[in-house]
């Protein structure tokens, strides 16, 4: 999954991930949210390898359910009555569903951060906004440089002077600031010398948009549109209050749940196979 996504062209991977994000944010219908939870949670577990890691997320869902149940008094079916307050089943369900929504988004971003490296972001951002992309790349060059330099400053002072940590930190900050601006002058000269800003820039990158990327993107868009249609036609109007009305599970529902599952697990269809790739 991760290998497939990080080998794809960033644009394809982005379209796929953004599609899931929108679906995860839109859908309220329990069948859809639960399908997403199963698929995304499965992916999360596969990469984390430790079942215990999922506990906090279950915690979020339960907490959300309980909080909503305690504070919201709507709904017709009483589940528990305690201390003069009635907790309705609808409110519990609603809260749980909201928790699942949140957890879905968190799972999705964990996958996103796993397969999207810094260069993917820089590339995407740079193709959308070329000038800001340059600034982004420059900042990415400077950050590790500044970090290393700060460490050097700190080491030299630690070795030479006996001073309190606070004073040293202040001195290092001040030195770093001076150094950062002084050293940026060479960078400015070097950019001017290489003709920055003379003509319209082109954008260089090492990503190639191949047939595979096209297919993947088309599939991701198609599945997204199908699911969007499903949402708009059938699943947008689902209410928990005053009571949950299940419409029953028929073939149409089965198809859309399947579609949602495929949309999320799409990279598996594009997996090249091979044993070596499975091992991280």
Partner 1 sequence: MSIPIVLLAAVSCIPYYYKYEKKKPQTREHVVLAVMTALTVISRMIFAPVPGFKPVAAMVMICGMAFGRESGFLCGSLSAFVSNFFFGQGPWTPFQMIAWGSIGWFSGMLNRTGQMEKRRIRTAVFGILAGIWYSLVMNLWVVIGAGEGLEWIRYGAVFITSLPVTAEYCVSNVLFLWILVPGFMKRLNRVKYKYGFFEF
Partner 2 sequence: MYQIKHLSFQYAMAEKEALRDISMEIEEGTLTLLTGPSGSGKSTLLRHLKKELMPAGRRSGSIWYKGTDLKQLEPERSAAEIGYLFQNPSHQMVMDTVWHEIAFGLENLGTPYGQMKRTVAEIVNYCNLQRIYDRPVCDLSGGEKQLVNLAALAAMHPKVLLLDEPAAWLDPAGKKSFLAMVEMLQKEFQMTIVMASHDLEDIMEKADQCIFLKDGQILAEGTPVHAAEKLWEQGKDMEAFLPQTIRLSKRIKGTPDFSMASLRRTMQKVPYEIIYRKECKVSGDLVLKVRGMYAGCQEREILKNFSMDLRQGEFLAVLGANGSGKTTLLKCISGQMKRSGKVRMKGRCAVLPQEAELLFAKDRLEDDLKENMREEPCQLEEYIDLFGLREQLGRHPYDLSGGQQQMAALIKVLMADPDILMLDEPTKGMDRFHKMKLGRILKILCSRGKSILCVTHDMEFAAAFADRVGMMFDGKLEGMERPRDFFTGNYFYTTMVAKITRDMPKPAVLPEEVRYL
Tell the smallest beta-carbon distance from residue 175 to partner 2 (Å).
Answer: 5
**Counting Cβ atoms within 10 Å, is residue 205 exposed (0-12), middle (13-18) or buried (19+)?**
middle
Tell the smallest beta-carbon distance from residue 92 to partner 1 (Å).
Answer: 15
> Comparing C-alpha atoms, which of 181, 184, 174, 167 is closest to residue 150?
174
- Applying CB under 8 A, among 31, 94, 116, 153 the residue interacting with partner 2 is 153
* Three-point CA angle 224, 104, 60, nearest 5°: 165
Contact between 158 and partner 2 (CB under 8 A)? yes
Q: Which of partner 2, partner 1, none does 73 bind, CB closer than 5 to 8 A by kind? A: none
Read off the DSSP letter of residue 242.
Answer: S
CA distance 201 to 180: 27
Q: Which one of 10-18, 50-58, 89-97, 155-163 is the stretch in contact with partner 2 (CB under 8 A)? A: 155-163
Q: Which of partner 2, partner 1, none does 195 bind, CB closer than 5 to 8 A by kind? A: partner 2
Interface residues toward partner 1, by CB under 8 A: 25-26, 28, 64, 94, 98, 101-102, 105-106, 109, 112-113, 116, 118, 121, 125, 128-132, 134-136, 138-140, 142-143, 146-147, 150, 170, 173-174, 176-178, 180-181, 184-185, 187-188, 191-192, 196-197
At which residue do the structure tokens 């999705």 appear?
108
Torsion angle in degrees (nearest 10) through CA of 54, 111, 131, 203: 160
Contact between 187 and partner 2 (CB under 8 A)? yes
Tell the smallest beta-carbon distance from residue 251 to partner 1 (Å).
Answer: 29
Nearer to partner 2, 99 or 133 (CB): 133
Contact between 128 and partner 2 (CB under 8 A)? no
Q: Which of partner 2, partner 1, none does 238 bind, CB closer than 5 to 8 A by kind? A: none
Peptide bond connecting 242 to the previous residue in cis, omega within 30 degrees of 0: yes
9: phi then psi, degrees, rounded to nearest 5: -60, 135
- Residue-level length of the chain: 280
Q: Are 253 and 227 in contact (CB under 8 A)?
A: no
Q: Are 97 and 28 in contact (CB under 8 A)?
A: yes
Where on the chain is the footprint of partner 2 (CB under 8 A)? Answer: 119, 122, 137-138, 140-141, 144-145, 148, 152-153, 155-156, 158-161, 163, 171, 174-175, 178-179, 182-187, 189-204, 206
């Amino acid at each position: 999954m991760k290998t497939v996504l990080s080998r794809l062209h960033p644009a394809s991977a982005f379209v796929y991930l953004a599609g899931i994000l929108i679906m995860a944010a839109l859908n309220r219908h329990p069948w859809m949210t639960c399908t997403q939870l199963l698929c995304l949670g499965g992916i999360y577990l596969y990469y984390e390898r430790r079942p215990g890691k999922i506990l906090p997320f279950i915690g979020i869902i339960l907490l959300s359910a309980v909080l909503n149940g305690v504070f919201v008094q709507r709904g017709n079916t009483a589940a528990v009555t305690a201390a003069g307050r009635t907790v309705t089943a609808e409110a519990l369900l609603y809260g749980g569903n909201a928790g699942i929504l949140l957890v879905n988004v968190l799972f999705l971003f964990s996958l996103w951060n796993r397969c999207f490296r810094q260069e993917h972001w820089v590339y995407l951002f740079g193709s959308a906004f070329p000038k800001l992309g340059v600034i982004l790349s420059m900042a990415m060059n400077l950050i590790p440089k500044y970090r290393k330099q700060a460490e050097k400053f700190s080491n030299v002072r630690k070795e030479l002077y006996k001073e309190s940590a606070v004073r040293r930190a202040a001195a290092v900050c001040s030195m770093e600031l001076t150094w950062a601006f002084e050293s940026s002058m060479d960078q400015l000269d070097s950019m001017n010398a290489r003709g920055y800003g003379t003509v319209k820039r082109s954008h260089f990158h090492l990503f190639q948009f191949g047939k595979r990327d096209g297919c993947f993107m088309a599939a991701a868009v198609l599945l997204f549109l199908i699911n969007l249609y499903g949402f708009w036609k059938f699943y947008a109007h689902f209410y928990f209050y005053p009571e949950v009305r299940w419409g029953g599970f028929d073939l149409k529902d089965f198809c859309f749940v399947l579609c949602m599952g495929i949309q999320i697990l799409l990279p598996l269809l594009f997996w090249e196979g091979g044993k070596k790739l499975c091992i991280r």
